[in-house]
Structure 1
Amino acid sequence: MHELGKRLGRVLRAGDIVILTGPLGAGKTTLTRGIGEGLGVRGPVQSPTFVIARTHPSLIGGAPLVHVDAYRLADAAELDDLDIDVDRSVVVAEWGAGFDLERESWLEIVIARPTGAGDAVDGPAAESTDDSVDWSEAPVEPRHITLLGFGERWSEGVL
């Protein structure tokens, strides 16, 4: 997930909105960490669950990353209420599926993972931002990623 995020981060630019959809533990925050690395933003990129949105400024003169937890937002209008400068930022919103974005283009990434995979990491521990945990030792279960580009921006593909 992290490597895919880095690749995406290298093609994203100011004004892009990325909607991440997937169950708890699917890797949405890990993907966003990779996007942040690809964009060259200040980290660490952590889950925005308790603050709704975190802004990570660019370290290389590019667009900042705004990482949003849309779980507690009722609709895209509440996203507007956060007063995010969408046109000058790359916005990544976790749990934003179904939002009517009223934008010309956006990217939706749907992450599916198997359930009942035995010893695989699952549940809240998989979404942990605790850097003291060595996740490289945790078993990795496969993910199925669907990249859906909407609008002219993505008419020639995503990656």
Structure 2
Amino acid sequence: MRTVIPDAAAMHEFGRTVAGLLRAGDLIVLTGPLGAGKTTFTRGLGEGLQVRGSVTSPTFVLARTHPSTVGGPPLVHVDAYRLGSALELDDLDIDFARSIVVVEWGRGMLDGIADSWLDIEIERPVGASQAAASVTADPTEVLDATEVFDLDEPRTVTVTPHGPRWADSGEFSE
């Protein structure tokens, strides 16, 4: 399935919608450049799953677990950017079977981890990085990457289901 998400609010809502399709044991791999909307999508997912805590990028902690407030599975949000292999991902000791796991930057790291997953690729406009560079005139000012790169522009989202969990679901067909 390939679709255009018009803005950040719609990306958040897309995450809420996908949350309604998930169950314990589901895995989502998010791919896209900085500021594509990976964390915005995951915030919506967390809201849809009704988890506790603010969903923020786990860049420095690698993985953050958000327990359900309604008795559902927890959401585990992983940033695999600094991980080198599936073995390092496995070393995080995530309970994949009883959680819904979102792995940012995880493409190519699923060998032996899961037999089914959703691959969600988010593409932002090519000119966004140049526009983001002009957001601040002070080059010494430190901004959160989402402040700089999450310009409210359309994103192209491609969802590719993998494995038996998604084989006959029909949820993400064109």
Is this a same-fold pair by TM over 0.5?
yes
Which of 50, 53, 63 is equivalent to 1:40?
50
Q: What is the TM-score when the length of structure 2 is the normalising length?
A: 0.79
Shift in CA distance, 54/118, structure 1 to aligned 2, threshold 3 Å: closer
Partner of 1:107: 118
Gaps of 5+ in 1: 129-137
Look up the equivalent residue of 2:157 and give its one-letter code. Answer: I
Structure having greater relative contact order (Cα 8 Å, sep ≥ 6): 2
Counting only pairs closer than 5 Å after superposition, residues 14-53 of structure 1 correspond to structure 2 as 14-53=24-63
Q: Which runs of 4+ in 1 moved over 4 A?
A: 117-126
The equivalent residue for 1:158 is 171
What residue identity is the alignment partner of 2:55?
V
CA deviations over 1:113-140 (Å, ceiling 9, x no partner): 1121499657964525xxxxxxxxx851
RMSD between aligned residues: 2.1
SS of residue paired to 1:11: coil
Greater CA radius of gyration, 1 or 2? 2
In structure 2, the CA distance between the partners of 1:110 and 1:62, relative to structure 1 (3 Å rule), is same
Cα displacement string for residues 62-85 of structure 1 (whole angstroms, at most 9, x for unaligned residues): 000000000011111111101111
Pair 101,41 (structure 1): closer, same or farther in 2 beyond 3 Å: farther
Whether the 8 Å CA contact 2:120–2:158 is kept in 1: the answer is yes
Alignment size in residue pairs: 150
Match of 2:91 in 1: 81
Gap runs ≥5 in structure 2: 1-10, 136-142
C-alpha distance in structure 2 between counterparts of 1:118 and 1:83, whole Å: 35
